């Protein structure tokens, strides 16, 4: 190979390709182990999160993993009841956003859409759409809103009385290293009622804020009122 051509290729690698590769690897490692954002394509977490939201995911909320793996290097916390978590479905590996309802050792049951944890019924307060400050897509007469209190963590849930959904289940005890998760849209959510417990290793991180939001029904226009909105 011509010496000048070889020198030119080496310079191109050193000055152009290598810096770009370093930036790409650093950015991907950051998204893998530190922080990321997650697309929300369905309404299973309404009214807390709606279709088109992009939520921030704190991957350091519970531990530090080796980038691009599930190997935990350090751990300092575990998911708590009421946390909004991003996890992988144990059924098919789909990445999901759900709420932690029960942690290891908890005894969870549901009676007509009312949860009980360790024998204690959760607190509920009925709402209407106007009183909660939300405007949701669809006919308001077809769904109900309520505030649910999971041992000190209050959040809104959506109920659809006329939908066919599992609204009751017998008491179950959550094994060590497993978690019971559910969607806030209780009658329209594929969650632990369908695919069972979520292993601790399949929980990616915790979310507490919407990064930005796009309205799928309005040509993907941005919903400015949902940019950087806290969620709980």
Q: Which residues are catalytic?
A: 44, 98
Strand partners, 27: none
d(CA 224, CA 115): 34
**Residue found under tokens 């417990």:** 197
Q: Closest Cα to residue 49, out of 219, 224, 209?
A: 209
d(CA 13, CA 200): 42
Cα separation of the two ends of the chain: 62
* Residue 120: partners with Cβ closer than 8 Å, 6 or more residues away: none
Strand partners, 149: 123, 154
The C-alpha angle 204, 25, 79, rounded to 5 degrees, equals 10
Within 10 angstroms of residue 184's Cβ, the number of other Cβ atoms is: 22
d(CA 222, CA 156): 24
**Is the preceding peptide bond at 205 cis, omega within 30 degrees of 0?**
no
């Amino acid at each position: 190979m011509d010496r000048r051509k070889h020198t030119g290729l080496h310079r191109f690698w050193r000055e152009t390709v290598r810096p770009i590769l370093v930036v790409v690897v650093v950015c991907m490692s950051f998204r893998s182990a530190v922080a990321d954002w997650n697309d929300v394509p369905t309404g299973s977490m309404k009214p807390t999160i709606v279709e088109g939201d992009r939520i921030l995911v704190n991957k350091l909320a519970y531990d530090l993993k080796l980038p691009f793996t599930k190997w935990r290097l350090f751990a300092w916390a575990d998911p708590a009841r009421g946390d909004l978590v991003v996890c992988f479905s144990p059924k098919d590996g789909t990445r999901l956003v759900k709420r932690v309802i029960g942690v290891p050792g908890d005894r969870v049951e549901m009676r007509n859409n009312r949860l009980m944890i360790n024998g204690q019924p959760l607190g509920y307060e009925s709402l209407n759409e106007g009183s909660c400050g939300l405007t949701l897509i669809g006919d308001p007469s077809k769904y109900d809103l309520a505030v649910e209190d999971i041992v000190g963590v209050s959040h809104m849930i959506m109920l659809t009385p006329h939908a066919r959904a599992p609204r009751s289940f017998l008491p179950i005890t959550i094994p060590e290293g497993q978690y019971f998760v559910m969607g806030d849209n209780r009658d329209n959510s594929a969650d632990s009622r369908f695919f069972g417990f979520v292993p601790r290793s399949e929980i990616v991180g915790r979310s507490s804020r919407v990064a930005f939001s796009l309205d799928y029904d309005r040509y993907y226009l941005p919903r400015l009122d949902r940019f950087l909105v806290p969620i709980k």
